[in-house]
Structure 1
């Protein structure tokens, strides 16, 4: 059982939960307000099964993507990572292949229970398979591909709130490509997916350097991409709408506590990821790339918590609670 959990990178499910939660919090509180009942009512509006379908489909999409990643790399892993479940023979290749197909099909079937869900999940799955079998080892293109995987999943996450939020985001994409869209707020729905995509692009670009020859400039550029979106999130925090709301109500303690929470998350993110990245840049050693990757994967949860805090502090706090779970599960179920 542990080997199967290693194959699907079980700790990474925490990042999926963080992405889902951040998408929902940001979409609900994008126009202001702090009533926590708004989010609950929106999640429960319509079919009571909607949230369950989105969660299950997301988990299956992630798990199948991770499994196909190892299936695609089995020959390479026989040399570089012979102790992993597939190359070591602890998990049978044919069994894993069948499981990958079953999970991919199940993800689409579950997503089909949601309006537009089948199509968006199909895009997510197609991009994940394209990355695993085609672009992963193509410098820069693989990083862009993986960024699009998380971007498209962040759009899928909007189905937590109903198809109207997804449709709003699609209109935002159309507007970005010059289509005449007059619906106010269409581009706002793309804020989080774009920021998440930028973070993942930088992270994947850095991770590429662990298995291929690269330059220090690429390492710097990958870190700069992550720093740029983290900087945008920090600006969003210090200009959050709830700062003025708390001031008008005289709730200065809540305002300070919320700012302290956001700045604390920012500091933890910079320390966990930035310190490792800077060490690799300063010393220029390839062996220092490895520690950046798990730190940055966990940093994705902190990044989500930081952005969510700028829209609703309680949302950021809830997402932050996933971070220690990620750390503990990651230590218990380590990939060789």
Structure 2
């Protein structure tokens, strides 16, 4: 029974939520500053443990609510296409699932309200977009993809609240804090990437044209290219030529290599299945593209985080084994 619930809320995908949070926080703190790891920990310590726990809880519940309501909306179709899934198979009662879906949504808002009213409002925006996608726009070509992109973009903005409501305000309306473009750079990259992935995924279940696959791929590769550009222009790259010590220069050099490998790995894992789907034009070739792209979110997060602080990329990659283990244990039928 527990495994069925984990499948229903796509528990493995929670790892990508945590890597999203890490990427946006690292970018916010280090993109325009030095590399002292103490700065991030000092900021989190200032906000307090309770603040961090409520924020992580709110993000997790928003994600799980979105996944559960997605399956509730699709239960009729899944009885035909995916009869072994927890809801159409009857392993989880439909009424119970609706109740849990409501509790997850309410729990997300309550958790956000425990931080402050601004975070509550931000969570409300994210939840509204989630429900708009699940219940209204998901099956509308292009509009559904735009809505899902807005969901992940708004959640990344919401995640800035982990550093305090002032960061949320700077991202939304600007101000005297970190540069506005720095704060929204990662949310924009993630939103464009998710738009591309979702647009391509639409072609699994509806007739489409190659131009849509081409545009979806362009968005995914464009987001990866933006990460590559951030890496090439990262401030810490300049320390290769005038570092404080040989050890420091070697460390920065290895970080540059890590970022380059992440960039190449992302392009490689998406390019080949996408090219095969583009050549064949068959819907059955779309699944591998979507799988590769969704699995690539962690690598994209690590790449972007590395451009601000190499240790941020390392921290994200440390979550990769948990993601891979989850994929093996919590497999969706």
Q: Does TM, normalized by the shorter one, top 0.5?
A: yes
- Contact 2:32 / 2:178 at 8 angstroms: preserved in 1? no
1:135 match: 137
**What does residue 177 of structure 1 align with?**
none
Q: CA–CA distance in 2 between the matches of 1:270 and 1:327?
A: 19
Q: CA deviation at 1:64?
A: 0.6
TM-score, normalised by the number of residues in structure 2? 0.95
Aligned residue in 2 for 1:258: 255
Rounded to whole Å, the distance in 2 between the matches of 1:54 and 1:246 is 37
Matched, 1:186 2:183: no
Distance 1:193 1:308, change over 3 A: same
Q: What CA RMSD, in Å, does the superposition of the two structures yield over aligned residues?
A: 1.3
Moved segments of 4+, more than 4 Å: 181-184
Question: Is residue 305 of structure 2 the alignment partner of residue 311 of structure 1?
Answer: no
The answer as to 2:83 corresponding to 1:76 is no
Post-superposition CA distance 1:34-90 (Å, at most 9, x none):
101111111111333111111100000000110000001111111111111000101
Task: List runs of 5+ in structure 2 lacking aligned partners.
Answer: none
Q: Do the aligned residues in 2 keep the contact of 1:246 with 1:255 (CA within 8 Å)?
A: yes
What is the CA deviation profile of residues 89-117 of structure 1, one whole-angstrom value per residue up to 9, with x for unaligned ones? 01000000000001100110000012211
Q: Which 5+ residue runs of structure 1 have no aligned equivalent?
A: 173-180
How far apart are the structure 2 equivalents of 1:188 and 1:26? 7
For 2:270, the equivalent position in structure 1 comes to 273
1:213-240 deviations in Å (ceiling 9; x for gaps): 1111101100101111111110110111
**How far 1:281 sits from its partner (Å)?**
1.0
Match of 2:126 in 1: 124
Q: Distance in 2 between matches of 1:182 and 1:305?
A: 28
What CA distance in whole angstroms lies between the structure 2 residues aligned with 1:143 and 1:241?
34
8 Å CA contact 2:239–2:249 kept in 1: the answer is: no
Secondary structure of 1:206's aligned partner? helix
Partner of 1:334: 331
| Count of matched residue pairs | 328
Where does residue 208 of structure 1 map in the other structure? 202
The corresponding residue for 2:65 is 64
Cα deviation 1:110-161 (Å, max 9, x = unaligned): 0001221110111111100000010000000000000000011001100110
* Whole-angstrom distance in 2 between the partners of 1:209 and 1:110: 36
Aligned to 1:171: 173
TM-score by length of 1: 0.95
* Farther-moved stretch of structure 1 (131-140 vs 260-269): 260-269
CA displacement at 1:279 relative to structure 2 = 1.4
